[in-house]
Homo-oligomer: A and B are copies of this chain.
Amino acid sequence: MKSINPNISRRQSRKVDLEQLKKGILQSNKTLLAQAITLAESSRSEDIALKRELLDWAGAHAKPSYRIGITGVPGAGKSTLIEALGLQLVNEHRVAVLAIDPSSQKTAGSILGDKTRMIELGRHPRAFIRPSPAGNTLGGVASRTREAIALCEAAGFNIILIETVGVGQSEVSVKQMVDFFLLVLIAGAGDELQGMKRGIVEMADFILINKADGDNKEKATIARSDYNRAISLFPMPASGIKPKVKTCSALNGDGLQEAWKHVETYFQDIIASSFFASQRHEQAVEWMRESINSQLLELFYHKPEINQTLQEFTVAVKNGDMHPLTASNKLLKHFLES
């Protein structure tokens, strides 16, 4: 027999789900981890309290990890590289891949769109792949990605790879949530062709010239020298470690082990110098701010009393019957009084 009060019934059944989610996460259950991330991405009013509880719990249960940002324009072979690297790492580690795709204003698109990618890695029990959160989530993609990181860390994934498209919009925010920022380039394409701005190259802790195979090998070596020269002019990064440029081939695996060895050495060095901890702590403050801001927006936009008025005012503003500043002022007053 069903409960008489449907709200209590639903809340109770949800409560059980949450405990199941937590248990599943602690057991590195990929299906339940995926459900937990979906809950964290939810903007439904009824999910807010639950997701906050889940995230609070995840924060307290996060385990140590390497957070690595990977960027490069489409065509640089990032996915092939991540799959090849991931398959190499799953022997010793649990690898989570999170993708960020700031779908452009004009052409909405998704990194993991029509092509099904990283199939082999995705199937591996010690790997977890998660596409980009929807672009219209309140509080923004950065906030949602950080929450997915916390959940993956609670699930014991100790290598978190965060992939971006490299068009400049999301790289700055990803840089602020990772310990290490890897830039994947290819030889032959000029900077302008790769859509790379100096700023992105400047943020890199490590540059990999991919597709150094076959006829392309020599060109990749030349590109390596070029980038080495270019970055020699950049100021020393806060880590105190000069970025390196290496070549590799995600296709045949050349250079991937050496590349990962470099990453490991980097982490050992920054942990020893305590830059790892200090950078994480700085980033944590930013994380707190982002989380506050996105929660504030949720609070406002999911208040039923606000929602009704907001819809009416949106129509009035859209018809030119109300100035946007008048509408926002009235709505804020309404929010404060309710």
Shortest 6 CB-CB contacts between residues of A and residues of B: A59-B323, A192-B192, A291-B328, A59-B325, A287-B324, A288-B324
Comparing A18-26, A221-229, A314-322, the segment that makes contact with chain B is A314-322
Q: Does A232 contact B (CB under 8 A)?
A: no
- Specify which chain B residues have a CB less than 8 angstroms from the CB of A104 in the assembled complex: 199
Interface size on A, as a range, is 35 or more
**Contact in complex: A285, B297 (CB < 8 Å):** no
Q: Does A190 contact B (CB under 8 A)?
A: yes
Copies in the assembly, this chain: 2
Given contacts A284-B317, A319-B281, contact A324 B192 (CB under 8 A): no
Q: Whose C-beta in chain B lies nearest to the C-beta of A54?
A: B325
**Contact in complex: B292, A59 (CB < 8 Å):** no
Select which of B59, B313, B323 is within 8 A of A62 by beta carbon.
B323
Given contacts A56-B326, A58-B325, contact A281 B191 (CB under 8 A): no
Q: Does A55 contact B (CB under 8 A)?
A: yes
- Specify which chain B residues have a CB less than 8 angstroms from the CB of A300 in the assembled complex: 292, 296
**Contact in complex: B277, A324 (CB < 8 Å):** no
**Contact in complex: A331, B292 (CB < 8 Å):** yes
**Contact in complex: A318, B60 (CB < 8 Å):** no
- Specify which chain B residues have a CB less than 8 angstroms from the CB of A336 in the assembled complex: 299
- Specify which chain B residues have a CB less than 8 angstroms from the CB of A172 in the assembled complex: 105
- Main secondary structure on A side of the interface with B: helix
Known: A291-B325, A295-B332; 19 extra A-B contacts, CB below 8 A, are A55-B329, A56-B329, A59-B326, A105-B172, A106-B202, A150-B323, A167-B197, A191-B192, A280-B320, A281-B319, A281-B320, A284-B317, A287-B325, A288-B317, A288-B331, A291-B328, A292-B300, A292-B328, A296-B335
Cα–Cα distance between A297 and B292 once the two chains are bound (Å): 9
A243-289 contacts to B (CB < 8 Å)? 277, 280-282, 284-285, 287-288
